[in-house]
Chains A and B, each alone.
Chain A
Amino acid sequence: MNPKILLTVPLLLLCSAASAENDFHMNNEFSLNYNKVSGPGKSASSLTENLNYLEVLNLNGGGRKSGWDYNYNLGLKATDDERNDIKTVLLTNLNGVFRKNANTVSLGDIFESFSQYTLATSLKGASYKYAKNGGRAPEITALFGYAYPRWDSVWKEPLTRTVARRAYGARAKENFSDSLSAGLSYINVKDTGRVNAADALYDSYNLALDLNYNPFPGLTVAGEHSLSDYDENAAGVSAKGSATRIELVGDADPSRVSLEYEEVQPDFFSALGAAVSDRRKVKTKWRYKYSRHTTFNSGLLWYRNNLPGSSAADTTQSWRPELGMAVKKIFSARPYSFADFSYKFDRKFGSGSSQADHYLNVNYRDRFAGLDSDSNLGYTLYKTEADVRDASEINFNTSLNSRQEKGNWVLKPQLNLGTWYSDDELTGYTDKIYEYSLGLGAELPGKNITSDLRLGQNVLKKEDAASDDSSRFFASLGAYWRTKIMKYDSTVFLRAGYNGFDFSTSSRNFREKTVTLGVNTQF
């Protein structure tokens, strides 16, 4: 199928649907942004200098025509800032869905999620689904399309041209009983049109069986087994592989227990699904509500790579036990007090390396005389042999928030303080970060105005004289006014910001000033 048909057919159907309009919504946001970057180190800035614009339009609607219910979406974006998009004007969305009884036809941007290992990404194409509620008839889905990430890739725009990944497939799902359902999915993928000489082109298929079983209330067993077969012609590789995952979840107060097992062989390949190859993983979790106020969490994750048949590289194994506790009203006299504690251990070894990291975290929230406080203390110990990382880090953050009503105004002052301390035993250096910020939110509910002013500083102090100290002073303002423009709900917004970066090496210093003025309209 010519990929351009992917664009033409949904457009024609969309126009036809729109002519029998029942329901129509629009969301449009236009903003002008001015950035000024100065200083000798300005090339490090991620802002585009001078004035640029961003226009985002989304139209959606729905209705009923000739017995068919339909919904559609059309999205456009325009910008002259290459950092927002390399294209000045682009089609972001084009999608139509038509339903009649048990039949559903989708065109344009379609996302039929078959199963994790087969299809978990969107296509530009068409799909058909038959699904009848309440009966025992199987649910059938069939689709065809291209896995282009953008619409302009469809018509091979030089700037965004990609390999053409064509896909077709089908899925059948059957509810065998109230407690057992199973699905069979097949997806075939073929890549064509290499853009760069080194681009890998795949010709592959995935076949998967997934099931969901509730043997008795509160217990769910779910799983999937998938086979893959692929040829990749850049490296001349052909391989077959499989992937399996099984999950048991027991869920009934006061406990929730889960047990997962996953094995993805090194040669398993899923062009459109989601899989991390060469991995065997076992994971358990147990959440236990000890009382109305106290909950315990525990878990264990184990995984290894280099499964049999994999490369000659050493095997890496990892153990990650964790334990946590959360307590509401930790002090009976303090109704807003809340504390949680967590400990995670990350042990990884193999491939000539051995790592043991410890993460401890304590969080305490409370309210004192109208001030909400939230404090967090973390300790991390990194131990990676040999001579890679041997460091301990402590971080502490605290914030104080309040909400005050003064006449028509609602004021929300905020103070944040933070510090980070890292002691690296390998280098013998200690580095420190200090952060503070002050914020003031001001709202006029009667006038639909909200604003937020914030300023602060982050300072990184490096003990190593050969490394730069750095400091960033920042200030930002955001103001939003909800109003009506031509009877339509709108928000006019102004955002302004300043960042001043200073380093020990003054040639790296730079300043960023940015102002954005925009309006969002919707109906």
Chain B
Amino acid sequence: MKNTVNILITLALLAGTANAKWWIFGKSADDVEIKYLTINSVSADESGKKITLFKETLQDGTVKIKGKAKAGKNQIGSVRISLDDKATWQEVKAAENGAFEFFFTPEQGKKYVFLLEATDTTGKVNKVDETRKEIEVSAENIRGKITEVLDAMFEAYNKEDAVRFISYVSENFAGDKAFLELAAKKDFNALNNINMRYTISNIASGSGKIFASITFNRMVFVNKTGRSSTDGGTTEFVFEMDGGKPLLYSMKQPLVFGLSDADNVATGEVIGNTASNLELDETGDLNYGTSVTFSNPDRSSYTRTYIFLDGSLESENGFATVLIGDIGVDIMHIWIKSGVESKVISGKSLSQVTLADLTSGTWNSTNPAATDVSVGKVYGFKVGSSYYAIEIESNNMGDPSFIIKIRVKSF
């Protein structure tokens, strides 16, 4: 750690020496130049010709223009700014080194055509037209803008358009934009028929950032297994303004984007999150449980039972009596060991089941626990103080020889 910090500090000091332009190649140093120019902290180089600002995100309702002019060996004599396309000019006080700062309070809905003129002591002037920017303070509520960006992000994600999706992510993305970009690409390779919708529950803005809380629903198909998953919940985003455009700054669990690298993409979890945190594992499958196959080539001689704790399948003599495992499955029944409790979870797929579904409501301990083993049925189990849920993935209804696949999720 110390070595790395030392290296970074050394680099900064080296960079700070006079005329240390180690990243500039082929640049002329004569003439009058605007070395840097920021409009509300956004570099003029990085912003487009038109800059739209939102009153709610302006600090103290003002636009702050900061920059520095340079004229090779000469000094900067004057700096002037026009906000009406050269019709009038305002003198701006510049420091000896050419640095200047300028504030104005914009009127909502009015368009300002900004130009900057810097003159050195020999009368040379910068390329004024290259500084031209149209600045407008939108009358639109920031909520509309956030809706627009979220619509575009959800659409790009639904269409698996990684380039468009990542264009709405800030370079300062707290989890790191590089992680999110690769995670989105992995998501798109692992999933198809992504169908997500959202509605906004809360918006708050200030200090150049905007917070959005949303309720979402989604259905995805997993390429690896051909299975679908449906779930929903509430999550939160933070956007930061960049040249009048909100860009994604951070996301929390439950994630809706970047499911393949949740550890590096999510920076926190929504308070009171009751949704399942859907994630894609390194095999490209969803993490919502383990697939278990019950097969019984000769029903009369033995059956298979399953132990939740270690995920093992056991052979047991007889049928309908579960002594070693926690549950046994055949084409029409789910059998349980004495002491195991069960419940039916209706109207939800396994990926939608949360701990709250299991900690509330009543349990029963009668055997069989269920007499419906059709595809899509979901059941909850309580073994001691541990909770589990299963979903029937497939049932070939073979008698006496059957193959039944279930997916198991522990909580």
Contact = CB atoms under 8 A, between A and B. Distances in A.
- Decide whether A and B are members of one complex: yes
Interface of A: 23, 25, 27, 41, 43-46, 54, 56, 58, 60, 62, 69, 71, 73, 75, 77, 79, 83-86, 90, 92-93, 95, 97, 99, 102, 104, 106, 109-113, 116, 120-122, 127, 131, 133-134, 147-151, 153, 160-163, 165, 178-179, 195-198, 214-219, 221, 244, 246, 248, 250-257, 259, 261, 263, 270, 273-276, 279-283, 286, 288, 299, 301, 303, 320, 322, 344, 346, 353, 355, 359, 363, 380, 382, 384, 388-389, 391, 393, 395, 420, 422, 431, 433, 458, 460, 462, 467-470, 472, 499, 501, 503, 505, 507-508
B27 A252 contact: yes
B72 interface: no
Contacts of A79: 199
Ranked 3 nearest A-B pairs via Cβ:
A162-B272, A217-B35, A122-B204
Contact of B232 (A83, A253, A274, A391): A83
Contacts of B64: 133
A209 to B, nearest CB: 15
B219 A85 contact: no
Contacts of A122: 202, 204, 211
B393 to A, nearest CB: 10
A106 B60 CA distance: 12
B366 interface: no
Contacts of B195: 46, 499
B125 interface: no
B344 interface: no
Interface in B220-253: 221, 223-228, 230, 232, 234, 236, 238, 249-250
12 contacts: A41-B375, A77-B201, A109-B204, A133-B60, A134-B101, A149-B236, A150-B201, A219-B16, A248-B12, A270-B268, A283-B178, A359-B185
Contacts of A503: 226
Contacts of B11: 248, 259
Contacts of B270: 149
B12 to A, nearest CB: 5
Given A46-B232, A253-B45, A431-B223, A346 B355 contact: no
B410 interface: no
Nearest to B43: A251
A307 to B, nearest CB: 9
B65 to A, nearest CB: 11
A120 B268 CA distance: 11
Given A113-B207, A353-B282, A301 B22 contact: no
A179 B213 CA distance: 36
B264 interface: yes
Given A252-B23, A255-B23, A503-B226, A149 B347 contact: no
Interface string B343-385: 0000101000001100100000000000000111000000000
A79 B201 CA distance: 12
Contacts of B24: 218, 250, 252-255
A195 B354 CA distance: 14
Nearest to B210: A111
A223 to B, nearest CB: 9
B70 interface: yes
Contacts of B23: 250, 252, 255-257, 286
B283 interface: yes
Given A77-B201, A217-B36, A288-B25, 9 more contacts: A79-B199, A112-B207, A246-B8, A261-B5, A320-B178, A420-B189, A422-B223, A505-B375, A508-B376
A346 B179 CA distance: 10
Contacts of A102: 60
B263 interface: yes
Contacts of B205: 111
A42 B250 CA distance: 35
Among the interface residues A150, A179, A363, A472, which one has the most CB atoms of the partner chain B within 10 A? Answer: A150
Interface residues of B, number: 105
B73 interface: no
Contact of A134 (B103, B213, B284): B103
B251 to A, nearest CB: 9
Nearest to B196: A46
B300 interface: no
Interface string B136-148: 0001010110000
B176 A301 contact: yes
Contacts of A85: 199, 201, 215
Contacts of B178: 283, 299, 301, 320, 322
Given A196-B356, A359-B185, A431-B223, A44 B230 contact: yes
B215 A84 contact: yes
Contacts of A505: 375, 394
A462 B25 contact: no
B217 interface: yes
B309 interface: no
B113 interface: no
Given A149-B234, A301-B178, A60 B141 contact: yes
A255 B25 contact: yes
A301 B178 CA distance: 8
B167 to A, nearest CB: 13
Contacts of B330: none
Nearest to A127: B206
Contact of B8 (A131, A256, A259, A420): A259
B192 A110 contact: no
B4 interface: yes
B324 interface: no
Given A71-B56, A149-B271, A259-B8, A468 B226 contact: yes
Contacts of B210: 111
A73 B175 CA distance: 30
A133 B21 CA distance: 32
B152 to A, nearest CB: 15
Contacts of B338: none
A144 B101 CA distance: 33
A178 B8 CA distance: 23
A141 to B, nearest CB: 8
B376 A274 contact: no
B141 A58 contact: yes
A111 B252 CA distance: 16
Contact of A283 (B18, B55, B176, B359): B176
Contacts of B61: 69, 99
Contacts of A359: 182, 185
A182 B139 CA distance: 33
B209 interface: yes
B291 to A, nearest CB: 11
Contacts of B232: 46, 83
A433 B192 contact: yes
B68 interface: yes
B391 to A, nearest CB: 10
- Counting chain A CB atoms within 10 Å of each CB, the highest count among B12, B25, B206, B236 belongs to B206
B250 A274 contact: yes
Nearest to A472: B193
B332 interface: no
B59 interface: yes
B218 interface: yes
A90 B202 CA distance: 10
A218 B283 CA distance: 44
B271 A43 contact: no
Contacts of A54: 199
B72 to A, nearest CB: 13
B376 A44 contact: yes
Contact of A252 (B21, B66, B99, B189): B21
A160 B272 contact: yes
A162 B218 contact: no
Instruction: Kindly name the residue among B101, B205, B232, B271 whose own CB sees the greatest number of chain A CB atoms within 10 A.
Output: B271
B60 A99 contact: yes
A86 B262 CA distance: 26
A71 B202 contact: no
